[in-house]
Amino acid sequence: MADPLDAYSHVVSSVAAELLPKVASVRAGRGSGSAVVFTADGFLLTNAHVVGSSRSGTVGFADGSAGDFLVVGRDPLSDLAVIRAQVPTPAPAVLGDSDELVVGQLVVAVGNPLGLTGSVTAGVVSGLGRSLPARSGAAVRLIEDVIQTDAALNPGNSGGALADSRSRVVGINTAVAGIGVGLAVPMNATTRSIIAALIRDGRVRRAYLGLVTSPAPLPEALRRRTGQDGALRVVEVVPGSPADRAGLRTGDLVLSAGRAPVVDAQSLQRLMFAEAIGRPLPITVFRNGALVDVIAEPVELTGAQA
């Protein structure tokens, strides 16, 4: 008998068979969505907005098993949360690396949209390197390198898996930006460090400089001198902040931080994790026609700064 499935269908159906048991439906307070088993001892990855401020909830799997979970940690500024099931869980999914994705690549979304447990959609990577604002109190950060896909996502897909053709989870579905436009938090080195911090500490410690910036092009002479096309223009320096104490000024062009080029907001943002707290951070700015070096010492981001 002829095989009724073409190559595309074989890939999608094999990914579905592999991941459907490992993607759970979750409910926490008024929120609901999906979560992905990623360790053998019951840890699942989901979106921070799915669990909200809840400390616990219920989790259900494709085989009909269900039970309670506890929130281990959440990070609204990356829209990630780790929960731990209080019941036995299926074998974990394999986490991939979104840095290996290319535009046009096949991806499969697995989740529980609109209460429809165990739903699978497929599409392609429509774009890479997108940014998605995330908020915690008054603090706003950009989730960087967000994956854009045309795989159909609906409410309830949040926290579910975006997988490649080898069933490796390359993203956690997080938002529907419009018809045919879904977004997923990437699975990369930054994400893995956030997950590790959530398991270890229940939260992610971030550094704070006290700068408000906007992207700015460099003058041609400065481009030739530095080899970079853009930088960050300082729009505001928070009084009394580490940036203020270091002598940074409104109008400065931030060219480098930590001896690495600063070409956009993400270049500076990715330095602002726990490792930077309390440590000297060399910053080079262009001011009044000259290069100026300063040393800032970031402090920990707190609710007062947020």
| Alpha carbon distance 70, 242 (integer Å) | 37
Identify the pLDDT of residue 109. Answer: 95
Cβ 207 vs Cβ 134: under 8 Å: no
pLDDT in tens, 151-201: 988 878 899 999 999 999 999 999 776 677 899 999 998 899 999 999 999
34 noted as active-site residue: no
3-class state of residue 230 by DSSP: strand
pLDDT in tens, 224-243: 988 898 999 999 999 999 99
Q: Which residue is listed with tokens 């898996």?
A: 161
Cβ 36 vs Cβ 23: under 8 Å: yes
Alpha-carbon distances of 232 from 10, 205, 212, 237, 272, rounded to whole Å: 47, 24, 9, 13, 15
pLDDT over 70, % of the chain? 93
Q: What's the token pair of residue 76?
A: 């609204």
Q: What is the dihedral of CA 271, 275, 277, 279, to 10 degrees?
A: -90
Model confidence at 28: pLDDT above 80: yes
Q: Which is the catalytic residue, given 32, 54, 126, 158?
A: 158
Confidence band (pLDDT; 50, 70, 90) for 293?
Answer: very high
Q: Which residue is listed with tokens 């950009």?
A: 142
| Alpha carbon distance 35, 43 (integer Å) | 10
79 noted as active-site residue: yes
Q: Which is the catalytic residue, given 32, 49, 126, 256?
A: 49
Cβ 147 vs Cβ 158: under 8 Å: no
Q: Tell me the chain's radius of gyration from C-alpha atoms.
A: 21
Which amino acid is located at 261 in the chain?
A: P
158 noted as active-site residue: yes
pLDDT in tens, 95-134: 999 999 999 999 999 998 666 677 899 999 999 988 787 7
| Alpha carbon distance 149, 50 (integer Å) | 20
Return the half-sphere exposure (C-beta side, CA atoms, 13 A cut-off) of residue 24.
35
Return the half-sphere exposure (C-beta side, CA atoms, 13 A cut-off) of residue 112.
23
| pTM score, whole prediction | 0.82
| Alpha carbon distance 212, 249 (integer Å) | 11
Q: Which is the catalytic residue, given 34, 75, 78, 79?
A: 79
Identify the pLDDT of residue 96. Answer: 97
Give the mean pLDDT of 43-51: 96
